[in-house]
Amino acid sequence: MATVREAILSILKTSGALTGAGSLGNLLGHSTTTPYGIYFMNPPEKPDFPLVTFHSISARGVIPRIEGFNFTAWGDNFEAIQEVIYDLLHGKTLGTTTDVANIMLKWDWFGPDIFDANYKIYVKTARYLQYGVKT
């Protein structure tokens, strides 16, 4: 069994390894090499765009336990990437993980469209809330 973070990463990487329409692998173009353009926390030192990063931003409560996760799409196709992430996560359950009995993941908001001046690439962040019961 995995933690919530590991379960989410597995969902994203499974889609990242695919090449068909509607997959992260199709949009990111890294379907042949792990980690498939999907990173926890930050992009690598020398990123190969487009890619996705995600991280936990907050957690509160016990019943229900609510944890927020930010998913940032980096690339000129950030909207399409965010649509696939929505299809993969919104309203989904992860089952019982080692840290939380997951009730569901729910899309919460999109941040603004941003141009990252360091990498000279567009980015967009979405927040999802994971509802569960702390185990």
Condensed to tens digits (0 to 9), the pLDDT of residues 51-85 reads 999 999 988 877 888 999 999 999 999 999 999 99
Read off the pLDDT band of 91 (50, 70, 90): very high
Give which of 133, 128, 129 is closest to 64, Cα–Cα: 133
pLDDT given for residue 123 in this prediction: 96
Helix spans in the chain (H): 4-16, 24-28, 78-89
* Number of separate domains in the chain: 1
What range defines the domain where residue 130 resides?
4-134
Residue type, 80: A
On the question of pLDDT at 20 being above 90, the answer is yes
Read off the pLDDT band of 87 (50, 70, 90): very high
For the record, the structure tokens of 16 come out as: 């990242």
Q: Check if the beta carbon of residue 1 is closer than 8 Å to that of residue 98.
A: yes
CATH code, domain with 120: 3.30.2000.20
Residue tagged 């019961």 (tokens): 133
The b/e string for 40-55 (b: 16+ C-beta within 10 A; e otherwise) is eeebeeebebbbbbbe
CA distances from 121 to 49, 69, 90 (A): 8, 22, 26
On the question of pLDDT at 1 being above 80, the answer is no
Give which of 95, 94, 46, 54 is closest to 72, Cα–Cα: 54
What average pLDDT does the chain have? 92
Mean pLDDT confidence for 107-122: 95
